[in-house]
Chains A and B, each alone.
Chain A
Amino acid sequence: MHRGLIVGVVTALLILAAGAVFFSFGGGAFRTAVTNILGVFEGWYGESLQPGASMAHTWTDAERGLIASLSIDRLPTLLPDPSNAVGDDSDAIALGHALYFDTGLSPDGTVACASCHKPELYFTDGKVKANVRGVDTQRHTPSIVGLAYNDWFYWDGRKDSQWAQALAPQETAIEHGGNRAGHARYVLERYHSQYEAVFGPAPDISDLSRFPFAAGPVEDEATHAAWTAMSEEDQRTINRIFANIGKSIAAYTRRILPGRSRFDDYAAAALVNDQRRMAELFSDEEAEGLRLFSGDAQCANCHNGPLFTNGTFHNIGLPLALGDSFDQGRSLGTLQVVEDEFNCLGAYSDATEEDCIELRFIKIEGEELLGAFKVPSLRNVANTAPYMHNGMFADLDAALRHYNAAPPAFPGHSDLNPLALTEKQSGALKAFLQTLSAPPHAPQELLRPPERENTN
């Protein structure tokens, strides 16, 4: 009986002594392994409420590298947009800030950019489809947070700069409902000094016989006819002012960047393998969600990089919403952007041909473009429901169910594979997605309408 006790104690002492020797002299890899094992063991008695807690935060080097690749710490400094010479000009930012919130950029005085891209809703509108006067547009309002890092704009990428994108809703009948001649006149009258501070002397467009109140290549026949009646030179004058309106708005929207989320702190802890800090930041369920996200659930195939998007277009086999007809998506957007007079290679762009690398090497053909839409960032995804280009999923659960089932696309082909996740796993993914929320990173004054005196 005593012999058993003595042998047990001696054996335990030997085990611990061996451990101490390994710590003192062991090689790097072996020591890492031992450290990890002890980390787990420490978790057992240190956080006894959750046996195995630290296993949830144990990652291989490759996994930690992949987690770090998603961190906002890996987001490069925003480079200038070569097509927009005033993109980082403080006067242009101030003018764009005013224009962004100005409902005067719609003939009935009801619609501004901020009507759909609301700062308080992470620059979305919470609606299934964009809708300002009781009429649905074709698609759901995407957030503009961090869009300055994108190469393509709109769900189908039919614009190739933020400033060109900002122009299109201005002339869409069911959005702002304006026209470029009207907008040019409005901005030159209301913001004359601010405009000239950014773009130099404004042209004289007071002659109504040359520059009608309402003229532009829009749906309304009279306004369209007034536009085609103008000389090409006068059209170019209006186009230049119109483009400058877009460039000012883009100077503002470029400033709206994603903030640091709880996930980013977790990624920083994962990078230095600080398991204690990781366990403070993420529940086991959230860590399991991250493991699925970057692993078996294959989310990070497309939702990769610090903005959780590869910036390109994929068909994910979305079913048609009731009453919708098939939406071609990217296969039409490519044709539109190469024809766009406000694209990177166009007369109103400030870029050289060399700068327009995305447009010069745009993929026009390919079955995978059919029914493909831009991969959205997942930052703030929990706060920007509903989801998808057509807003058909009301919540994250519905979106995750789609990825789990991955029905085939028709027409085209879906880039998804069925996942067969359990409910618990889907719950973990959802928990992880909720760690990506953070207020936009932008000067506070840019997150609300400018003071009145700044607009005159």
Chain B
Amino acid sequence: MAVRFCACLLISTLLLSACSAVAPLPQVSGDGMAMDSEDKAGMDMSGGSMLADALEPQTTENGLFTITAISRLDPVVINETHAWTLHIETTDGSPVSEAEITIDGGMPAHNHGFPTAPRVTENLGDGDYLLEGMRFNMGGVWVMTLGITSGDQNDVVTFEFELK
């Protein structure tokens, strides 16, 4: 009985499906096109990217400074050398305007650093600094470590982010 039931179900379904192929259900293709163009507009075709302001401001390891890092290239994409703006404040919100900044970073999972040697090239005032020469040559997880020296105070912060 069960075998006959299954056989009938299968045969009936196939027959009816064949009918639907001859006379397709209405609006499928029209809706499909609409869906596709939505996808096309919203799809990331960069091979690895993130929004310029994707990184949350972060406090340095010993709590001395708060660092904001925003890319001047939006979105950040792979294989394009570009600049960032760094903003440095003390934790009570005062801009740190005479800081020395070192930068290092790379892809820990791949055991390599940045493909370029980025550095701070200009003090823009009010705690802002221009970081030039940034480049990412792969999608995936990157880290960027900034060493901050202001007067006799030193501290370090590491940002981790993914270009996907």
Contact = CB atoms under 8 A, between A and B. Distances in A.
Given A5-B8, A64-B43, A15 B27 contact: no
Contact of B113 (A4, A23, A368): A368
A15 B13 contact: yes
A151 B135 CA distance: 13
Given A8-B6, A32-B35, A366-B113, A68 B43 contact: yes
Interface in A276-311: 300-302, 304-305, 310-311
A4 B3 CA distance: 9
A61 B79 contact: no
A301 B132 contact: no
Main secondary structure of the interface of B (DSSP, over half): mixed
Contacts of B164: 62
B45 A69 contact: yes
Interface in A364-390: 364-366, 368
Interface in A20-51: 20, 23-24, 28, 31-32, 35, 41-42, 45
Interface residues of A, number: 58
Contact of B47 (A19, A41, A69): A69
Interface in A295-342: 300-302, 304-305, 310-314
A237 interface: no
Interface in B1-21: 1, 4-9, 11-14, 16-18, 20-21
B150 interface: no
A310 B138 contact: yes
A312 B116 CA distance: 9
Interface in B41-70: 43-48
Contacts of B110: 301, 415
B139 interface: yes
A66 interface: yes
A433 B46 CA distance: 21
Contacts of A357: 81, 132-133
Nearest to A361: B133
A240 B137 CA distance: 35
B20 A16 contact: yes
Contacts of A358: 81, 116
Interface string B73-106: 0000011010000000000000000000000000
A35 B79 CA distance: 36
Contact of B44 (A8, A65, A311, A314): A65
A134 to B, nearest CB: 38
A151 B80 CA distance: 10
A4 B9 CA distance: 9
A315 to B, nearest CB: 9
Contacts of A311: 79, 137
A415 B106 CA distance: 13
A302 B138 contact: yes
A212 to B, nearest CB: 41
Interface in B126-155: 132-133, 135, 137-140
A375 to B, nearest CB: 9
Interface in A222-275: 271-273
Contacts of B31: 23, 31
Contacts of B132: 357, 360-361
A314 B114 CA distance: 12
A363 interface: yes
Nearest to A414: B111
A61 B43 contact: yes
Interface of B: 1, 4-9, 11-14, 16-18, 20-21, 25, 27-28, 31-32, 35-36, 38-40, 43-48, 78-79, 81, 110-119, 132-133, 135, 137-140, 164
Interface of A: 1, 4-5, 7-9, 11-13, 15-16, 19-20, 23-24, 28, 31-32, 35, 41-42, 45, 61-62, 64-66, 68-71, 74, 151, 271-273, 300-302, 304-305, 310-314, 357-358, 360-366, 368, 413, 415
29 contacts: A4-B5, A8-B6, A8-B12, A9-B12, A12-B12, A19-B25, A24-B27, A28-B38, A41-B17, A65-B44, A68-B43, A69-B48, A74-B45, A151-B81, A271-B45, A273-B39, A304-B48, A304-B78, A305-B79, A310-B78, A314-B112, A361-B81, A361-B116, A361-B135, A366-B112, A366-B113, A413-B111, A415-B110, A415-B112
